[in-house]
Structure 1
Amino acid sequence: MAPLSRLCLCLGLLLLPPPAAPAPLPAPSTDWAACRNLSRELSRQVTTLKEPYRETNLSEEDPKNWPPRIRCSDACDPPTLDTNNTRCLRRILHGLQHYRDLLGSDIFTSRRLPRLEATLDQLLSLVQQEHGRPSHHPLVPTSAWTQPLLQRLALQRLQSFTAVMSRVFTHSAGPR
């Protein structure tokens, strides 16, 4: 090939637009329908558990050792969920992780709940896809005699948490 034709070919290549960059992958988004179904299943499982010491009523002595609750300030109301659900999902993720840690703690060594743990793990992994892993907080060891009482309190709180969480996912998974 003559030098002039080679030069023309190179100049022609320089004038071509650069190849398009591959489209960025969309950020993973929450699968609201799957979260709705799993939160309903979790709620159903917690409701059907037989609680030890049903007649005992406990007062909470140290609220910072218990899982978070979904509060009004967490922006889980329908109008806010429709525009920005990040804050609410972070609260749900934090609560799910805390309950998962609680179910894996020594409080439940005498009473493992594998189906409940598996459903919680599935739901946790769906929410974590978009919002990452929350930090783990070590739980204080408990005495053997307090375990049934703490189990009851933990399951009551989990039941309340799943009821509100299920409403959030049901709203967000609804028809648009």
Structure 2
Amino acid sequence: MCQKNKKLGTTSEPNLTNPHNSLKTHFLQSFPQSYRRSQEIQHFKTRRIATLSTGEMMMCLLLRAVAGEPKLLLLDEPASGLDMYNRAIVLDFIKRLSNDKRAILSVTHHLEELPEELDLVAVLKHGRQLRTGAPENVLTDSVLSETFSCRVEVIKSKGRYLANAFLE
């Protein structure tokens, strides 16, 4: 999805059939020339795919998704499987992308992965839309308790949402 004039960027997994390929030969060559020189990808260009951590691979996928300057970025669990440090790096990168007036649609099960500046939240249950609206009206104890069929307590701290689930 790195071609110019694309409207959608995604973080789909690269084809890892040969994990010994360097990222440069594997998929960084699809970046526009001006983007290939960006500082954010310079330390990846000689790395082998097999040597990347999950967090580094996610950063590569995010960089590849935005290389074509899409108007909409579709993210599916962008911080899944990351430790707290790499999650913070990925979430900070996504926050910077949202500041570029880019529409971002992110799917997650973890409230702490939501960006601080949310315009709209939709909560799904069994594939159906349960609630949609402003985060303060949707990310509530009652809505999330109904969604997850257990007691959920939502906390907002320093602009971020956190949740705890209790099986009672």
User: Which TM class, normalised by the smaller chain length?
Assistant: under 0.3
Question: Where is the strand percentage greater, Structure 1 or Structure 2?
Answer: 2
Q: Say which one has the larger Rg.
A: 1
What is the TM-score when the length of structure 1 is the normalising length?
0.23
- RCO higher in structure (CA 8 A, sep ≥6): 1
